[in-house]
Amino acid sequence: MSQHSFDSEELDGYIKIDKYNTEKVDRIASHYTDILECLGEDPKREGLVKTPERVAKALQFLTHGYDIDAAEVLRGAMFEEDYSQMVVVKDIEVYSLCEHHMLPFFGKAHIAYIPNGHIVGLSKIPRVVDIFARRLQVQERLTNEIRDCIQETLGARGVAVVMECKHMCMAMRGVQKQNSVTTTSAFTGAFQNDVTRSEFLRLITADLA
């Protein structure tokens, strides 16, 4: 049976508890001790003594999406509702790790669906984004996974996903282009129609305030 440790922090009147698998923390940390030595560092110096453990915990958090069923999260907040117009949730923050270099990419996701007898609690849409983003990813697959999960779980008349992200593997290394943005999109059903897709794109770029 796996063991877990808990880090707690009080924020605005409630206790935030992070749960870690201690066996995985120890295993990952041991490798990072070797990595620090390979980089020419001294893992025993004051500033690095706890670094392997911190990195191990950070990686567990940044990849915790593997342990969560996104479809189950959606099913837990589905409601019958006679609404057949577009539902748009835009500017959803995205943070993920590129699987090629394990460097971050981050940006925004814009998502819409057209209900077919069921709607879903609005907070679950960003939750689905987080679940798939908290895995080693490429932006193209992440876009499709979000689309497919919402489409298959809700049985929607259509789903649209657009993602805009900056990739640190391009900004910090390689071509070192700091201002480039990668945009990916994926559509199903009604959003494959030019008129419906154009309305969605207009809504996510419009300032409605």
Please list the active-site residues: 98-101, 139, 167, 169
Q: Is 169 annotated as a binding residue?
A: yes
Contacts with 54 (C-beta within 8 Å, 6 or more apart), sequence order: none
Positive or negative, the CA dihedral 117, 65, 168, 138 is negative
Please check if 149 is assigned to a binding site. Answer: no
Q: Where are the beta strands (DSSP E) in the chain?
A: 4-11, 14-21, 78-80, 87-98, 104-114, 118-120, 136-137, 158-167, 182-187
Backbone angles phi, psi at 134, to 5 degrees: -85, 50
* Residue 31 annotated in ligand binding: no
Cα(89)–Cα(91) distance, integer angstroms: 7
Which residues make up each annotated binding site for Zn(2+)? 98, 101, 169
